[in-house]
Structure 1
Amino acid sequence: MIDIQRLRVLREVARHGSFSKAAAALRFTPSAVSQHIAALERSAGTDVVHRSTRGVRLTEAGRLLADTAETVLAELHTARARLSELAGGRRTLTVATFTTGGRRLLPAALAALTAAHPDVEPVVLEREPEDAIALVRAGEADLALAYRFDRALPLRPADRDRLAWTPLGPDPMSVVVHRDHPLADRKSADLTEIAGERWVLGCSKTADFLHRQAAEAGFELRVSGSSTDYYFAQAMVRARVGISLVPGLAIDPGPDLAVVPLNAPRPTRHVGIVTARTTRPEVGTLRAALTGSAARRALRR
């Protein structure tokens, strides 16, 4: 018999790649995590992880059990929620969202949800796409508002049968400069011609993109400011620290800033919704409301 708690421990080891990080997530000691994995290996009759000084990685059997753990634990989470509803407990709908999507798209959609389902209590978690999707996969969130940026979403082959992606549309990126900057009156610009400017970075994914562009062009990116918040980055642009690359949803317009669209190939985030393929009616209500919010924000599929 394979113990559910040991599957939960294996899932965290798979997520974090080490016993110590899994222990921190579970609030266990690393020794306890190691003991759970050893017990799981005894019950499974095979090794589930390869151990080394650089961390741990799953064996083929470990990957099989980790995928099984995701499915089993998600079903248990759903069952507990349904049992709570049957017992007269509160009904919740958990949404995981990236920051700008939560700020620009989610409020109106949540208002529509609560109007249609006043007995449902929304719970909102701020997460980057890879973490938000993991929460839906694990049954710990009902819906994820996510995006992909010049690469595929972090979905796995096994997700195709369990998760659904509803595209909301493209969110192209533009250069934001101070109104006094020489670029301010331009109708558009090529990224290669301005790559040597002083840059303020507002997101690690944007930073990765710009560093790759600079490396391909043969020069080093000049970074004058760095943050994980596009709004903070634009505040630094207002202070003339540098220019920034910002997606449309995050642009914070004002008289002291100018927005310059980039010419093709224009970097673009593709925004969408991740849900389980089988959902409650209220999840469908929220998904439809988010589609409406995206249309009003001029995101198009």
Structure 2
Amino acid sequence: MIDVQRLRVLRAVAEHGSFNKAAAALLLTPSAVSQHIAVLERTLGHPVAVRSTRGVTLTEPGRLLVEAAEAISAELDQVRREIARLSEERPRLTVATFTSGGRHLLPTALSRFVAAHPEVELTVREGEPEEAVPMVRGGAADLALTYHFDGPAPVRPGGRPGLDWVPLMEDPLWLVLPRGHRLAGRTSVDLTELAADRWVLGCLKTEAFLRRYADLAGFDLRVAASTTDYFFAQTLVAAGVGVSLVPQVALAEAPEPAVIRVEPPRPARHIGLVLPRRRRANPYAAALAEALTVAASTRTGVRP
């Protein structure tokens, strides 16, 4: 039988890449860490870690065990929280969300949820995908409203360790131009037509997409302003600072610049939910997920 404490030691070795560093993090001696790993390998019948001058490398069985350990740890944390909730007067639910998705989908979904479950104490935490997904994995959030750009989802459906991705809606990107821009009267624009323009960036992920596109198209991306707020970026566009590429759901509060369709292949964000995979699902998380699904299906967010 595999001991949970030894899985915890293996996780620390994987995280720190060293027996000595793992020992320091766990307040153990390096010898104790080595003994835990040795017993784990004897129990399993396979090596789980290989030491070298460059540190410790996990074997394939070791990697599988670490993934299982993360899922087990998340399950135990969930059980602890459920036990703690038994003594609370009100059940609690924490949802993580990125800003523009929160503005677009959460108000409608939360109104529906609160009306059906007034007994729940809600907490909303803001975070980009790289922050929100670990919140769910670690139990700091019960679910996350998040997104990814064209490419693989941040969580594979049915993948390890213990998280699921539920797609909600596509969120295509639009060109936002100053009203006096030479292309402002067009119905659609190819991004290469803006090779000489200066750009206002609304987030780092949009910048990464534009830089990849510019490299493939053979032009240099000229950045006039870089922000972490699509709404602020649009005010800068309206002031004539430059042009921008903005997701559809972030256009709701735009200050009336020209909004133009991007010619194919049209870039998009894909909005969805990250939920922990549990033997016994949190009924409140499931109810909020359903409310968000309804909100996504009934709101297109198209302003143009």
Interval containing the TM-score (normalised by the shorter chain): 0.7 to 0.9
Checking the alignment, whether the CA contact within 8 Å between 2:198 and 2:243 is kept in structure 1 is: yes
Question: Structure 1 pair 9/62, CA: closer, same or farther in 2 (3 Å)?
Answer: closer
- Which residue number in structure 1 is paired with residue 299 of structure 2? 297
Cα distance in 2 for residues equivalent to 1:125 and 1:94: 7
Cα distance in 2 for residues equivalent to 1:101 and 1:8: 38
Question: Structure 1 pair 42/155, CA: closer, same or farther in 2 (3 Å)?
Answer: same
Question: Structure 1 pair 40/221, CA: closer, same or farther in 2 (3 Å)?
Answer: farther
Residue by residue, what CA displacement relative to the aligned partner does 1:61-94 show, whole Å, maximum 9, x if unpaired? 4422321222111111211122122223542112
Cα distance in 2 for residues equivalent to 1:157 and 1:34: 39
1:41 aligns with 2:37: yes
- Aligned-residue CA RMSD (Å): 3.3
1:169-180, aligned counterparts within 5 Å? 169-180=169-180
1:71-86, aligned counterparts within 5 Å? 71-86=71-86
Structure showing greater Rg: 2
Checking the alignment, whether the CA contact within 8 Å between 1:176 and 1:258 is kept in structure 2 is: yes
Residue 258 of structure 2 aligns to a residue in which SS? strand
Which amino acid letter does the alignment assign opposite residue 245 of structure 2? Answer: L
Alpha-carbon distance, 1:158 to partner: 6.0
1:119-268, aligned counterparts within 5 Å? 119-156=119-156, 159=159, 162-251=162-251, 252-255=253-256, 257-268=257-268
Q: How many residues align?
A: 290
Checking the alignment, whether the CA contact within 8 Å between 2:155 and 2:164 is kept in structure 1 is: no
TM-score scaled by length of structure 2: 0.81
- Which residue number in structure 2 is paired with residue 10 of structure 1? 11
1:64 aligns with 2:60: no
Alpha-carbon distance, 1:162 to partner: 4.1
Please, which runs of 5 or more residues in structure 2 have no aligned partner? 42-46
Alpha-carbon distance, 1:209 to partner: 1.0
TM-score scaled by length of structure 1: 0.82
Checking the alignment, whether the CA contact within 8 Å between 1:177 and 1:243 is kept in structure 2 is: yes
Please, which runs of 5 or more residues in structure 1 have no aligned partner? none
Between the two proteins, what is the percent identity of the paired residues?
45
Residue by residue, what CA displacement relative to the aligned partner does 1:147-193 show, whole Å, maximum 9, x if unpaired? 22110112258626944332211110001112222222221111121
Alpha-carbon distance, 1:294 to partner: 1.6
Cα distance in 2 for residues equivalent to 1:57 and 1:8: 14
- Which residue number in structure 1 is paired with residue 285 of structure 2? 283
- Which residue number in structure 2 is paired with residue 87 of structure 1? 87
Checking the alignment, whether the CA contact within 8 Å between 1:233 and 1:244 is kept in structure 2 is: yes
Question: Structure 1 pair 248/63, CA: closer, same or farther in 2 (3 Å)?
Answer: same
